[in-house]
Amino acid sequence: MHRVTQATLAIACLTALCAGSANSSVVRANDDELVPSGKGWGERPAPGPGPGQGAGQGKGDAPGQGKPKPSGNGISYHGGKLILGTTKIYYIWYGNWAGNDAPTILTDLAQNIGNSAYYNINTTYYDGSNNHVANSVAYAGSTTDAYSRGTSLSDSAIQGVVSDAISQGRVPKDTNAVYFVLTSKDVTASSGFCTQYCGWHTHGTIGGLDIKYSFVGNPDRCPSACAAQTIGPNNNAGADGMASIIAHELEEAVTDPDLNAWYDTRGQENADKCAWTFGSTTTWPSGAKSNMKLGNRNFLIQQNWVNANGGYCAKAY
Ligand SMILES: [Zn+2]
């Protein structure tokens, strides 16, 4: 999902509630990642710059559009940029992750999601010059942040966490990247983690450049809202839940980095259209379910929308 401002979020919620959805369980709006009731319907009334996002990016709909270009696949291109070529992932581990193997599990995810049949779904998205998203992702590094902004992060604090990491040289400044702020269980996001969303992505001007970033909280804080299962395939329910949310935010950030590229008439981005659906799964002796293998690990990762053949949710393309 995508959030721009709290105001947008609130409006989005109303929109979702009023509009209802094919999924009768919808209650929440803006986000994406809320289970079980909110099965992830991210709504947003219209693309556009939010006041908090800085003039640097605030171009609203990119030039040349005016009218969305329907693909015939249930999702439309609105003229904005996509992330092309190899997309880099940076992790910012916020809070206290000591004794938790989430960094190992989620680094493996970042190192192996590129070139997968799953990520290949994103190659069905393209820009106005027919440049398609590449099935290429590189894990490019990480840093830590030991509570620089406390345990309840506002949206602007989250951007500040990213901005600090970049300006202090702990991670490079890279416009072809998505920076993930990953918070430990004792940390919340005050605009609605666990109640309105489990994660989101947006962009902002940092160091004069348009930087794409995402918040993903630890579902251990609220498993019934943000984890699909209480036992994960990697024996870390929080990290296993985060894997699905990271994948969701990554594919949205790549196909709609500035919130003005690919989304449907209801404001749903590609992953929103398939949020909390997993396709066929395997159940392991522990009881954990998984639906794909990336590298050497099994994961349970939500499906994504294929922008081809009429459009459909899938876990591979
Ligand atoms: Zn989403």
Handedness of CA 266, 270, 276, 281 (dihedral sign): positive
Claim: this prediction has a pTM higher than 0.75: yes
Question: By C-alpha distance, which of 236, 299, 198 is closest to 100?
Answer: 236
Q: Could you tell me whether strands 152-153 and 188-189 are parallel, antiparallel, or unpaired per DSSP bridges?
A: parallel
Q: What is the pLDDT of residues 278-304, one digit of tens each?
A: 999 999 999 999 999 999 999 999 999
Nearest-angstrom CA–CA distance, 253 and 210 = 12
Q: What is the DSSP letter of 176?
A: T
Ligand 1 centroid from CA 285, angstroms = 31
Q: Work out the average pLDDT over 34-39.
A: 28
Ligand 1 centroid from CA 128, angstroms = 23
Q: Work out the average pLDDT over 55-71.
A: 47
Ligand 1 centroid from CA 29, angstroms = 10
Q: What is the pLDDT of residues 168-198, one digit of tens each?
A: 999 999 999 999 999 999 999 999 999 999 9
Ligand 1 centroid from CA 178, angstroms = 14
Ligand 1 centroid from CA 19, angstroms = 17
Ligand 1 centroid from CA 269, angstroms = 6
Ligand 1 centroid from CA 24, angstroms = 18
Which residues, 6 or more positions from 181, have their beta carbon under 8 angstroms from its beta carbon?
Answer: 92, 94, 153, 158, 161, 162, 213, 214, 215, 216
Ligand 1 centroid from CA 271, angstroms = 6
**pLDDT for residue 18:** 22
Q: Which residues, by Cβ under 5 Å, contact ligand 1, an ion? A: 1, 32, 42, 252, 272
Q: What is the DSSP letter of 8?
A: H
User: Cβ distance 227 to 33 under 8 Å?
Assistant: no
Which residues, 6 or more positions from 93, have their beta carbon under 8 angstroms from its beta carbon?
Answer: 103, 142, 143, 144, 145, 182, 184
Ligand 1 centroid from CA 252, angstroms = 6
Distance set, CA 17 to CA 2, 25, 35, 40, 75 (Å):
17, 10, 16, 13, 21
**pLDDT for residue 1:** 59
Ligand 1 centroid from CA 215, angstroms = 11
**pLDDT for residue 66:** 54
**pLDDT for residue 50:** 34
Share of the chain above pLDDT 70, in %: 79
Averaged confidence pLDDT in the chain? 84
Ligand 1 centroid from CA 122, angstroms = 14
Q: What is the pLDDT of residues 80-124, one digit of tens each?
A: 999 999 999 999 999 999 999 999 999 999 999 999 999 999 999
Ligand 1 centroid from CA 245, angstroms = 9
Question: By C-alpha distance, which of 115, 71, 129 is closest to 262?
Answer: 71
